[in-house]
Amino acid sequence: MRTVALPVAYMPLVDAAPLVVAREMGFDHAEGISLDLRPAPSWSSLRDMLAFGHVDAAHLLSPIPVAIALGQGGITTPISAVSVLSLNGNVVGVGAQLARKLVDQGYGFDFIDAKAAGAALAKAADDTLIFGVPFPFSMHVELLRYWVAGTELASKNVEIRTVPPPLMAQALAAREIDAFCVGEPWGSFAVEDQFGALLLPGRAIWNCAPEKVLAVRNDWAQTEPHLLGSLMRAVWRAGRWLSNPDSRSTASEMLARKAYLNVSPELVDRALMGEFTISPSGEHRHVEGFVEFFEGAATFPWRSQAKWIAHQMAKRNGLEVGAAEHAAAKVFRSDLYRQAMHRSGIETPGASEKLEGALPEPMAVASAKGSLILSRNVFFDRRIFEPSE
Amino acid sequence: MSQNLTVVVVEQNHDRAFAIVDALKAYGDVDVFVIGNVSGLARKIATHDPDIVLIDIDNPSRDMLEELTVASGPLERPVAMFVSGAAGGLARAAVEAGVSAYVVDGLQADRIKPVMDTAIARFQVLRQIRVELAETRRALEERKVIDRAKGLIMKSRGVPEDEAYALLRKTAMNQNRRVAEVADALVTASGLLS
């Protein structure tokens, strides 16, 4: 069968899995396309590759398209998030010095309770606490800010600086940062290389945070609706395949390959299985659903998720909150998602928005053909985000 | 108003940095600063208060510059990425050439263009040299591994060199792999067994 080659850019991270799997398992060919996956050296490059038309789609941090819609960060090419590639998958970690202090003060590193972790870290840290994150427009920043504001860390002078993950160790050694929030496999690297210990998985702060999105240029989505549909369905199938526990070790092997992450499959395994080594001394923690590619309509781009991101960004940067939420909602394309999935009879939620953080238990919601089960959705402080009209 | 453009070049490799500085200086009224060590990059750049920042697109530290694009960043004036202005075509050329430019708002495109053209041309030449060098290194490395694999086969099978090589080639063909890959596997395996 003839396939259309589709250049797609990605960052070599564990959560690029749906794209890698779509290619390696041939879900792309089944849809008549062939993914030409291109790694990017930095998030800004990745974003530019998409904006300038070097690639047709990209694995992007979910706040990037929102930031563009809010006129932040230089680029003005309108970008759409057509589906969510993954929920959660980040870790918060501390440098060796803070880790030692936390151990000395008897903190148990439960890897669950974000409130207690915030209190313990506030006790261990100096007046100023500096976090390194991979990019200024990222879920890493949003989760950290949300967490800091809702814990005893709020009394500290908290700074967030951009440090590319490969330079995180160096930045910690130079005392430029004290702690960090990164995606896997970088957190596990920090532990392996003995420069840090892991404090929390991102999902301990918000267990339903849209981490990466599948992004395309608006004009491309308009001119190539069929290719876009094929791409979205191929990636959706890859997510479903990944959600099968039996697939995970195969997925780890695939991702670990030289062409993709070029790390040991054992490191990739930790994130996919949720089995973490959190300190150089080998302490172990299990995290259920550390990163999610499928279950609970995980890939549906809820407009309320975009509004949550815009709400935080607007408050921080002095923008008008209502207008920001309105602009952001247009970026998460639940309309395009439905169009693409309906063709193959794939279930999608009937609504495009929901209260974020309002599901202490999984719940069935109305969908086109019956019901879909949404996963738990809670913030660590149990607050509920109601998107504005 | 100061006439000279201030350009900061972020480049860790000394030779490459000098080559770029020379090219920019030859163009004329440009003050060029080189930053080699990327730790605390955003603050270092801010101290020079540059009009343009040039950085290799493959440099992962590029993300540190994004902080400068946030209004509350360390620069007093917001820094705009090149592309948001009228010089869109030029920005595209820059991306294609592998150089990324961050330009302070309000700078005239006709003043930027010659500097950028010079930088782009220089980056392109350097990139080519780098690719060629990497290719040569890889070829040398492969030759060494193949020689070692041939040696191993000659020793354990007691065959002459051309036969050892033929066996490597045949195995590679049958397994649909490159000769260098088969040789590498053999050398690794024999290292484990000895």
Angle at A137 (CA atoms; ends A135, A138), nearest 5 degrees: 75
| Partner-chain contact A75 B83, CB within 8 Å | yes
| Partner-chain contact A48 B100, CB within 8 Å | yes
**Average pLDDT rounded to a whole number, residues B67-88:** 48
Whole-number Å distance between alpha carbons of A52 and B109: 19
Tell me what pLDDT residue B128 has. Answer: 73
The mean pLDDT of chain A is 93
Is the pLDDT reported for residue A36 higher than 80?
A: yes
Confidence of residue B81 (pLDDT cuts 50, 70, 90): very low
Tell me what pLDDT residue A71 has. Answer: 83
Is the pLDDT reported for residue B133 higher than 70?
A: yes
Q: Which of A302-311, A360-369, B80-89, B141-150 has the highest mean pLDDT?
A: A302-311
Q: Which residue has the higher pLDDT, A112 or B59?
A: A112
Q: Give how far B125 is from chain A: nearest CA, Å.
A: 20
Q: Find out whether the peptide bond into A185 is cis, omega within 30 degrees of 0.
A: yes
Segment A70-113, tens digit of pLDDT: 988 767 789 999 999 999 999 999 999 999 999 999 999 999 99
**Average pLDDT rounded to a whole number, residues A309-321:** 93
- Dihedral sign (CA B173, B176, B178, B182): negative
- A-chain CB neighbours of B40 within 8 Å are 176
**Average pLDDT rounded to a whole number, residues A190-211:** 93
Nearest Cα residue to A90 out of A241, A291, A357: A291
Tell me what pLDDT residue B27 has. Answer: 72
- B-chain CB neighbours of A45 within 8 Å are 57-58, 62, 100
Phi, psi of A216 (to 5 degrees): -140, 160
Whole-number Å distance between alpha carbons of A256 and A267: 8
Segment A225-278, tens digit of pLDDT: 999 999 999 999 999 999 999 999 999 999 999 999 999 999 999 999 999 999
- B-chain CB neighbours of A44 within 8 Å are 62-63, 65-66, 100
| Partner-chain contact B81 A75, CB within 8 Å | yes
Segment A215-228, tens digit of pLDDT: 999 999 999 999 99
Return the minimum-mean-pLDDT range out of A26-40, A88-102, A364-378, B78-92: B78-92
Q: Which residue has the higher pLDDT, A20 or B21?
A: A20
- Token readout for A43 is 């998030």
| Partner-chain contact A136 B66, CB within 8 Å | yes
| Partner-chain contact A73 B70, CB within 8 Å | yes
- Tell me the ipTM for this assembly: 0.81
| Partner-chain contact B64 A163, CB within 8 Å | yes
Task: Please give the radius of gyration of chain A, using alpha carbons only, rounded to the nearest integer.
Answer: 20
Segment A42-69, tens digit of pLDDT: 898 899 889 888 899 999 999 999 999 9
| Partner-chain contact B58 A41, CB within 8 Å | yes
User: Hey, which residues 103-142 in chain A have their CB within 8 Å of chain B?
Assistant: 134-137
A164 touches chain B (CB under 8 A): yes
Return the minimum-mean-pLDDT range out of A215-229, A262-276, B102-116, B126-140: B102-116
Tell me what pLDDT residue A211 has. Answer: 98
Q: Which residue has the higher pLDDT, A333 or B20?
A: A333
Q: Which residue has the higher pLDDT, B60 or A1?
A: B60
Is the pLDDT reported for residue B107 higher than 60?
A: no
Is the pLDDT reported for residue B90 higher than 60?
A: no
Tell me what pLDDT residue B89 has. Answer: 59
Give the list of residues 6+ apart from residue A143 with CB closer than 8 angstroms, or none: A90, A92, A181, A202, A205, A206, A209
| Partner-chain contact A74 B63, CB within 8 Å | no
- B-chain CB neighbours of A55 within 8 Å are none
User: Hey, which residues 11-70 in chain A have their CB within 8 Å of chain B?
Assistant: 41-45, 48-49, 51-52, 54
**Average pLDDT rounded to a whole number, residues B44-65:** 79
| Partner-chain contact B64 A73, CB within 8 Å | no
Confidence of residue B98 (pLDDT cuts 50, 70, 90): low
- B-chain CB neighbours of A174 within 8 Å are 39
Tell me the percentage of chain A whose pLDDT exceeds 70: 99
Tell me what pLDDT residue B80 has. Answer: 41
Confidence of residue B147 (pLDDT cuts 50, 70, 90): very high
The mean pLDDT of chain B is 76
Tell me what pLDDT residue B45 has. Answer: 81
Q: Give how far A72 is from chain B: nearest CA, Å.
A: 7
Q: State CA B74 to chain mean position distance.
A: 27
| Partner-chain contact A72 B69, CB within 8 Å | yes
Q: Tokens 């669950």 — which residue?
A: A112
Tell me what pLDDT residue B75 has. Answer: 44
What are the helix and strand counts (H, E) for chain B? 7, 5
- Token readout for A130 is 């500096």
Tell me what pLDDT residue A16 has. Answer: 97
Tell me what pLDDT residue A1 has. Answer: 59
Q: Give how far B10 is from chain A: nearest CA, Å.
A: 15
**DSSP one-letter string for A187-224:** HHHHHHTTSEEEEEEGGGTBTT-EEEEEEEEHHHHHH-
Whole-number Å distance between alpha carbons of A113 and A205: 8
Nearest CA in chain A to B59: A41
Is the pLDDT reported for residue B83 higher than 70?
A: no
A176 touches chain B (CB under 8 A): yes
Is the pLDDT reported for residue B110 higher than 90?
A: no
Is the pLDDT reported for residue B77 higher than 50?
A: no
Q: Which amino acid is it at A90?
A: N
Tell me what pLDDT residue A247 has. Answer: 93
**Average pLDDT rounded to a whole number, residues A127-135:** 96
Tell me what pLDDT residue A312 has. Answer: 96
| Partner-chain contact B71 A317, CB within 8 Å | yes
